[in-house]
A and B are shown apart, each in its own frame.
Chain A
Amino acid sequence: MLKSFRAVFGDRTFSEASTPLYIVATDFETGETLALKEGRIVDALRSSVAIPFIWPAWPHDGHLLIDGAASNPLPVDVAIREGADIILALGFQSPLPQRVKSVSRYAFYINSLMTNNLLNSNFAFHNAVHHAEIIAVFPDFQQSIRLFDTHLIPYVIECGEQAMRAQLDYVKRLLQA
């Protein structure tokens, strides 16, 4: 995975991004959420995708970091804090396997349930208390897509485009206001 990331991002840093970029990870020790905005992008990505049990935590800037989903699966709060008031939010429920066949799958399964519940409650909170316009772009997948179904990526992108197209007029109107 690291090799693939490096092939795309090399040694690029956050300062090279044409729009400000923030990547969310979780402090493995405390469970707190961190928005990374400096250093090599590869390091931030590697931290943010460190799915519990699958990839090891990643040391970064004095913290041991894991998957951002453990604290903040859809980090609209970071955008709000950084001053955005029109937010396109792409969120996904973690897919749940039909059957649990081993102790490690069980642990993974429970983590997926908790990620989904955390997503729901965080999203409800940010929607309720902030005055930003949060536009949920939640694609409607007609088939079940598991975490590593890479062969379905063209379909996933297509669904994303459809979901976005449905919101486009509204976004244009907001941006003109």
Chain B
Amino acid sequence: MSMHNRFSVVIGSGGVLCAAALGLSKALRREGLMPGMAVGCSGGSIYAATIALGLEPEEAERHTLKLFTSDVFEGYTSNLKSALAGETRFTETSSLIDDSIMLERLTAVFGNKTFEDTIFPLYIVATELYTGERVVISSGRIVDAIRASIAIPLIFSAWRVGDHLLVDGAVCDPLPLDVAIQQGSDVIAAVGFEMPTRRRMNSYTAVTTHFNSLYMNNILKSTFAFYNAVHHAEIIPILPDFEKPVGTFDTSQIPYIIEQGEKAAAQHIPYIKQLVAVP
């Protein structure tokens, strides 16, 4: 396995769809290609971290199957009801879901590992709640960075890292190619997803989720267009072809998601090899 400093893997937001990055990881490993850095946002931060820590894709897959089970979202409906009725106080540090199960699962995988334990540099993107600005985390406990980056608005509470109160990275930079470019990468394998939108909505939650998806998708397109236009990096989008609809939290589809990620990545391997071979 040879490491290529200029080559990076950037994994954007997208819930369980981000597991497609494990397919990319498999395809790269088979060819002995190791990136020089990994960047992740929201759900993508989990896989950027497993890849940077050198976890086998198969092991990361086993963890994933245990991570997003339905009990992670327990209590949502009743908490929403009482929050909307004004029975419970809701502030910028509140949430509709108790994060203890999620945190326990993440800790089971990442423990007290820090950014210093990675094989190559890892960057995780989150959003500063008070300003909306991008914050790149590259030190401290990996669990804290992931927890901040996946703080889906309303669902999981904002998370304090250092001086910042942080929420979901997708609020500012759903596919953070800019971080890889700033860190000197000019060959980037990018795994990004649009969030699913809805046609029918019959609850406050559905409407909020839909609005968030519309915004995040538009920010994704806008930032992607910008980074593509102005930077001189070669950005290779890895676009898995999901022939059937896959929900963002549909864990039963994880093996299928990874498989499609691998197929999409395989098409680009010869080109990536050619690019990293250029001195």
Contact = CB atoms under 8 A, between A and B. Distances in A.
Mutual binders A and B = yes
Kindly state the interface size class of chain A when it binds its partner: 35 or more
Interface in B124-144: 127, 129-132
Return the 9 tightest CB-CB contacts between A and B, nearest first.
A113-B132, A31-B214, A114-B215, A121-B222, A103-B83, A100-B92, A125-B226, A110-B153, A103-B90
Given A26-B214, A31-B218, A71-B218, A107 B226 contact: no
Contacts of A13: none
Given A71-B214, A115-B215, A107 B153 contact: yes
A122 B90 contact: no
A113 B171 contact: yes
B211 A118 contact: no
A128 B226 CA distance: 8
Contact of B197 (A30, A102, A124, A125): A30
Central interface residue in B92, B216, B218, by most chain A CB within 10 Å: B218
B226 A121 contact: yes
A106 interface: yes
Interface residues of B, number: 40
B219 A70 contact: no
Interface in B218-232: 218-219, 222-223, 225-226, 229-230
B91 interface: yes
Nearest to B213: A31
Contact of A118 (B91, B208, B212, B215): B215
Contacts of B94: 103, 106
Nearest to A100: B92
Interface string A71-94: 110000000000000000000000
